[in-house]
Amino acid sequence: MTLALDELTPVAPQQWPELRDLFKVDWPRHEIAHNTVQNYINWITIDPRIKQLKVLTLNDSWRQNGTYIIIDRYYMFIHTLDDSKDTLRRALLLIDWDYSYKISHVSESFRFTLYDVFHTRSVELQIEDRSTNLYKLPKERSLTLDCTAPRGFTLKKLEPKHAVQINAVWPHRCEGSEYTLKRLIAWNPSIGLFDESDRLLAWSLCWTTGTIAAIQVDEEHLRKGYGSLVVRAIAKEMAKVDMNCQAIVHCANAVSKAMFAKIGFEVVGSCFVVRTKARKLVEYVHQS
């Protein structure tokens, strides 16, 4: 149970760099946490007043244990350096679970803690957890990748307007997801493959966790190697900003696993994603 005086306290934006640097310990064990905090440091530089963004900790103890809960609209990201997971558990017990959250890139080491909170707080899941492998390609190798587009085709950064097309075919679309994609395109590395008429045929984005996501190819152009091409291209773009390229791939997705392995990615860990069910009328509804 939570202690009587426990409370969720905000970590002020000016403290985020210090929070980020905590995750350099035992590098790269906490690289996803480091990149997630860095992402929001980048974002508040662009927009200092991002709505519905909170970085929370338990009793202002983040310096001692590296515990955070980031809530960004309907997304939630969690991490702690506390081996006992006690501070993370107590913090999660204080969350208002009447709202629906997609809790993304959760380390397998937090599984018991998170599900214990779900049980204690009677939280139901909209979508049961999806187990994934975490793939990684070091930035040094990303810079050596061949990203030559076919004759008549162009690789270039996406524009926010492309979010409409991407969201329309994205398997994980939901209420509010088009805006999610627009922000990622506008503020993070992204890549698209365009034909001679400037039609978007394949794409890949960089998620708030520093992993690549929303990799997809227009259904009329499958099995032409375009998916691999945009992955290689965005890996190189991320390397240019000093980032290793990482991706989460569902364990049952044999095609994607083979593609990442062929490019040179290696499995470095595992994580999972869950979506909780809202207990009242809410703005964001998740069905996929």
Q: Can you give the pLDDT at residue 283?
A: 76
Q: What are the tens digits of pLDDT across the range 46-103?
A: 999 999 999 999 999 999 999 999 999 999 999 999 999 999 999 999 999 999 999 9
Q: Can you give the pLDDT at residue 127?
A: 82
Structural domains of the chain ordered from first start: 8-131+272-276 (3.40.630.30), 137-270 (3.40.630.30)
Q: Can you give the pLDDT at residue 282?
A: 79
Instruction: State how far the Cα of 82 lies from the Cα of 182, in Å rounded to an integer.
Output: 35
Over residues 170-187, the mean pLDDT reads: 95
Which of 50-54, 132-136, 283-287 shows the lowest per-residue confidence on average (mean pLDDT)?
Answer: 283-287
Indicate the pLDDT class of residue 286, thresholds 50, 70 and 90: low
Maximum pairwise Cα distance, the chain? 66
Instruction: State how far the Cα of 272 lies from the Cα of 112, in Å rounded to an integer.
Output: 12
* pTM score, whole prediction: 0.95
b/e 159-172 (16+ beta carbons within 10 angstroms → b): ebebbebbbeebeb
DSSP-derived 3-state class of residue 261 = helix
**The one-letter amino acid at 114:** L
Over residues 167-195, the mean pLDDT reads: 96
Please say if the pLDDT value at position 288 is more than 80. Answer: no
Tokens standing for 101?
Answer: 């959250």
Q: Can you give the pLDDT at residue 179?
A: 96
Strands lying side by side in the sheet with 68-72: 8-10, 53-58, 68-72, 75-79, 102-107, 266-276, 125-137, 245-250, 211-217, 200-206, 190-194, 154-156
Residue 57's DSSP bridge partners are 9
Q: How many CA atoms lie within 13 A of 138 on its CB side?
A: 3
Indicate the pLDDT class of residue 129, thresholds 50, 70 and 90: confident
Percent of the chain having pLDDT more than 90?
92
Q: Can you give the pLDDT at residue 1?
A: 55
Instruction: State how far the Cα of 249 lies from the Cα of 176, in Å rounded to an integer.
Output: 23
Instruction: State how far the Cα of 194 lies from the Cα of 181, in Å rounded to an integer.
Output: 18
Indicate the pLDDT class of residue 11, thresholds 50, 70 and 90: very high
4: nearest Cα among 87, 89, 79, 90: 90
Q: Can you give the pLDDT at residue 273?
A: 94
The pairing of strands 75-79 and 190-194 is unpaired
- Do the Cβ atoms of 174 and 285 come closer than 8 Å? yes
Q: Can you give the pLDDT at residue 253?
A: 92
